[in-house]
Amino acid sequence: MTNDFLDVDTAVIGAGVVGLAVAKKLAQAGQDVIVLEAGSRFGEGISSRNSEVIHAGIYYPENSLKARLCVAGRRQLYDYCESRKVAHRKCGKWIVTTCEAQQSVLEDIQSHAVNNGVPLTLVEGAAIARQLPDVSASAGLWSPQTGIIDTHGLMLALLGELEDAGGALALRSPVVRVVSAKDEHTLQVAGSSPCQLRVRNLVNAAGLGAVSLTQNWAGLPEGSKPTQWLARGVYFSYTGRHPFNNLIYPVPEPGGLGVHLTLDLAGQARFGPDVEWIEQEDYSVDPKRVHAFAAGIRRWWPGLEAERLQPAYAGIRPKLTDAAGGFFDFRVDGPEAHGVPGLVNLFGIESPGLTACLAIADLVYQKLA
């Protein structure tokens, strides 16, 4: 490790969709920005292992960061995709219940959504049967603002704008230690070209690694270092034809939104994610989980042909509570939270982080201004 310091105005740790959105925003605001990514490519973590859904902002408590940033970010993201030619489709989604006893759950979801500025349409009885003839549903909520997106294409667009604004991406550059003192932060960067980087502004957007990075961080108050739990969700693809043009979600379950149907931009169906609490990062998909998937899907799609379900991939949600903890909000910790000038830590950025990425970037910029 060299004793020489490299001086840069701003560093962003993590080149996922949120890190790239933040870096683009700061570079376009005139800052000299470098993005430090531990992996050999950008977006290999959470950003490449999700449902690629543009969420409307339905489920989150009123005035929570998740609600506000999702709604604002969704509007920005559709505009961004249109102007930058990022592939996407506003396909809409249904949230369905298979029994009348759960109708109150739909009504609660609808109330949350209205409070968040997201109107939903409740459809019942014969009307839902006409809309979804292949689905066994007693009622459903229609969300016209939900969509799907090419996440890789989005990250390419963000990276291109970052570089056009003078920013840079450094791959294979894991940050292993941070020292925050006075008005600067010193980063020990390992990898193929070890160095010590000295910056005025620092954004920790390391995804699953954001919390663990704080354990080797001098100058960050201990009370500002959260605990993180990991919830793995696996996906199964569905080969061949299917009857769906919209996303189909059951009512939510603890830890997630239930095993739901999403579509890619080519129209292929996939199901997931489920929820499995794990001790360490592990992206394996147990093929035997297909039985639980099939049983859950058949509750609302009796025509499922289970033999067409194939293991696809797994993602991991960075949770700030355990299985019994319930709702937790995004943490966008700026100087007002931890007292360290020029620092923003992003913790617990799970869904709807993709949808909210541009709004999160705006908030980070405000906290560093």
Same domain, 128 and 235: yes
Q: Is residue 70 part of a domain?
A: no
Mean pLDDT, residues 260-265: 95
pLDDT tens track for 281-314: 999 999 999 999 999 999 999 999 999 999 999 9
Whole-prediction pTM: 0.96
Q: Is residue 261 part of a domain?
A: yes
**Banded pLDDT at 1 (limits 50, 70, 90):** very low
Which of 147, 276, 191, 139 is CA-nearest to residue 1?
A: 191
Query: What is residue 5's predicted lDDT score, i.e. its pLDDT?
Result: 85
Q: Beta strands 5-13 and 33-36: pairing type? A: parallel
Same domain, 166 and 308: no
Backbone φ, ψ for residue 176 (5° rounding) = -110, -15
Q: Kindly give, in sequence order, each residue whose CB lies less than 8 Å from that of residue 289, ignoring residues fewer than 6 positions away.
A: 234, 236, 274
Q: Within 10 Å of residue 3's Cβ, how many Cβ atoms?
A: 5
User: What is the tally of structural domains in the chain?
Assistant: 2
Give the pair of three-digit tokens for residue 143.
């969300």
Residue 349's Cβ-side half-sphere holds a number of Cα atoms within 13 Å equal to 31
Which of 361, 360, 327, 367 is CA-nearest to residue 343?
A: 367
Q: Is residue 54 part of a domain?
A: no
> Residue 338: which CATH number?
3.50.50.60
Mean pLDDT, residues 93-101: 91
Same domain, 205 and 232: no
Query: What is residue 12's predicted lDDT score, i.e. its pLDDT?
Result: 98
Asked whether the CA dihedral 293, 297, 302, 305 is positive or negative, the reply is: negative
Among the three residues 319, 342, 359, which one is the final residue of a domain in this structure?
Answer: 319
Q: Is residue 80 part of a domain?
A: no
> Residue 287: which CATH number?
3.30.9.10
Same domain, 43 and 122: no
Mean pLDDT, residues 315-321: 97
Does residue 175 carry a pLDDT above 50? yes
> By percentage, how much of the chain surpasses pLDDT 90?
89
Domain that holds residue 332: 5-49+152-226+327-368
pLDDT tens track for 35-83: 999 999 999 999 999 999 999 999 899 999 999 999 999 999 999 999 9
